[in-house]
């Protein structure tokens, strides 16, 4: 195990309060288009990753979520999917395509 690795405990029926920051604290969500993309991604990701979203708050450089994963995907997989797809969409709009699929799936 790596020195700085975090061990994670995934309990059944847990509800998680998650805070995640943007890359280098850049205020991406100052722009309404990026907020709208994030909200669309949350709506699209919910049935795909089978989680309950109880609340969220989008601030300029970070996001708060209250999430309950289902049985199939754990909290790490849910958050990874949301962050990956949202960042891909933002990079597409900013003309910085990265990864295997540069197209924005929500536009």
User: Mean pLDDT lowest for which of 28-32, 48-52, 73-77, 103-107?
Assistant: 103-107
- Nearest by Cα to 32 from 56, 65, 58: 58
Q: Across residues 72-90, what is the average pLDDT?
A: 93
Among the CATH numbers 3.40.190.80, 3.60.21.10, 3.30.70.1290, 3.40.50.970, which is that of 16-93?
3.30.70.1290
Query: What single-letter DSSP state applies at residue 22?
Result: P
Half-sphere exposure of 55 (CA within 13 A, CB side): 8
Tokens coding 46: 């919910």
The side-by-side arrangement of strands in the sheet containing 16-21 is 16-21, 62-69, 51-58
For position 12, what pLDDT does the model report?
Answer: 77
């Amino acid at each position: 195990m790596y020195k700085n690795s975090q061990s994670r405990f995934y309990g059944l029926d847990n509800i998680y309060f998650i805070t995640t920051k943007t890359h280098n604290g850049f205020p991406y969500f100052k722009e309404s288009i990026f907020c709208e993309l994030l909200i669309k991604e949350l709506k699209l990701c919910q049935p795909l990753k089978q989680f309950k979203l109880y609340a969220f708050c989008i601030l300029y450089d970070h996001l708060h979520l209250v999430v309950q994963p289902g049985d199939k995907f754990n909290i790490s997989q849910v958050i990874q999917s949301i962050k990956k797809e949202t960042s891909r969409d933002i990079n597409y709009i900013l003309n910085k395509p990265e990864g295997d699929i540069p197209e924005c799936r929500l536009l």
